[in-house]
Chain A
């Protein structure tokens, strides 16, 4: 599974309050949630982001609150993959559950700058910077997780297996 897109670059410890501020937590429709994506970290992101864009960040992306709104917002605006040096564990689960792929790639923040075009290979775990013609090796996604991503998240899988009608 290969994903190509333009990079939005973020730093260390981007918490879920920055991805999706607490004052909007009462919202539950994805299109309403998406209007506030990354609002605590960047005032312009929500207006500028385009479907297919890629977020690249340093360590501990998604730390803090367990709010699934953070994953819903990124998924709804069409972020194709988030690549970071490490992810907070609840955020990681939330994104995979919704079918939004995440790639752990220890050196990725040295590889890319804002606006670069990159290609991530989820099964191989590689990140290729097309703009700068460089490449780094990250952690390949397991077959189990790739199957969840292909299905569009856990909901279709659980519906098929456990749905009560």
Chain B
């Protein structure tokens, strides 16, 4: 069996599971964000009064942090009251940040767990060796009521990244390249495992980007086998290190794809789909109105670090806005202590407090008709960040920073000295 199958089998109380099988599995943590008042409504509609186990539930108020409208404030109010009334210990309010980053930082995510959240990017937690998957409100309500959910055991595809990422080329570029080749429906209801020397060399932040974007090819979950890098990140947060299930040597993958990342140039997903890939050399010079660095895809310390490296001591183009939203309070504090916040604000960046920001077009940097944005977030669907007449390029935080500087899509490599930010 694959490690992911072992996780599901254990949670389902079965000796083994096979792809295609439907199993009922115990959920170790169910997380609800502030778009999902319906989860509480569905819980009550099903006759729920007390949640199955409050310790296995978390609420994160991140998509509307802080509340931009009376309605979103009212929704958050109901959620807080539900959390307090039910004795749920894990409430991350509007000060905390994006759910995926926050849960990992808080030590709620560990190898071998089953994590279900009302957010498609729950695949991110594969970077921690967890089985993470996104659901809607009613599935989450069913978990709050019973502690379990049904899963269809997914087929597992392996994506092997060999070689070494060149300077100025990030994990985001690697995963965009994969999406451009495999296309956005390549992994519908599959699990995606990333392996290879390029993955082994990546930090946890970079691995989170790979797993986060797995959902953009349709994956139900993602996985990177935990190693010493995983352990160094998680153990201090967990206070222990669990026994990790390994994939059997004779396991046969549903499909295997291999990519060499050594020659990659910065990659961009052009409007309006995430698999509409171009290299920076094909699109540089396109005028932009806004650059955005943030979210569960591109708002970590490493992302702000590369932006600060590019922009320190300079000013962004006068016709361009640069919106920066740290993924979490911890990211914001760290970036501030390291001087990145100051360098970026002095360069002309507009900072907002941790949360999802304009990624989903709700607030804090929505786009007007006819505007062009380059974003470190994960999606460039029509209307995703505001007007359906806006155009969105998805790219690495380095491309976003360089583009803000020049006021047009720009190659960040010229601003990143050889031996630069990856060292």
Interface positions of A (Cβ within 8 A of B): 12-13, 15, 17-18, 21-23, 25-28, 40-41, 59-60, 63-69, 71-72, 86-90, 93-94, 97-98, 144, 153-155, 158-159, 162-165
Contacts and interface: CB of A to CB of B under 8 A. Distances in A.
Contacts of A153: 138
B59 to A, nearest CB: 16
7 contacts: A28-B41, A40-B382, A68-B138, A86-B185, A89-B220, A93-B136, A97-B136
A68 B145 contact: no
B188 interface: yes
B45 interface: yes
B184 A60 contact: yes
B50 A164 contact: yes
B43 to A, nearest CB: 10
Interface of B: 22, 35-38, 41-42, 45-50, 63-64, 69, 71-72, 75, 118-120, 134-139, 142, 145-146, 184-185, 188-189, 218, 220, 273, 360-362, 366, 379, 381-384, 386, 388
Given A17-B384, A159-B46, A90 B41 contact: no
Contacts, number: 135
| Among all A-B residue pairs, the 10 with the closest Cβ atoms | A163-B47, A68-B136, A22-B360, A94-B136, A60-B185, A164-B49, A22-B361, A97-B138, A68-B137, A26-B71
A66 B188 contact: no
Contacts of A23: 361-362, 366, 386
A165 B49 contact: yes
A15 B381 contact: yes
Contacts of B382: 17-18, 40-41
A24 B382 CA distance: 15
B220 A155 contact: no
Nearest to B378: A64
A64 B120 contact: yes
Given A22-B360, A64-B381, A66-B134, 11 more contacts: A18-B381, A22-B383, A23-B361, A86-B185, A89-B188, A154-B138, A159-B45, A159-B47, A162-B48, A162-B145, A165-B47
Contacts of A67: 35, 136
A25 B136 CA distance: 13
A72 B136 CA distance: 11
A46 to B, nearest CB: 14
B49 to A, nearest CB: 4
Contacts of A69: 38
Given A13-B184, A68-B36, A86-B185, A27 B71 contact: yes
Nearest to B189: A89
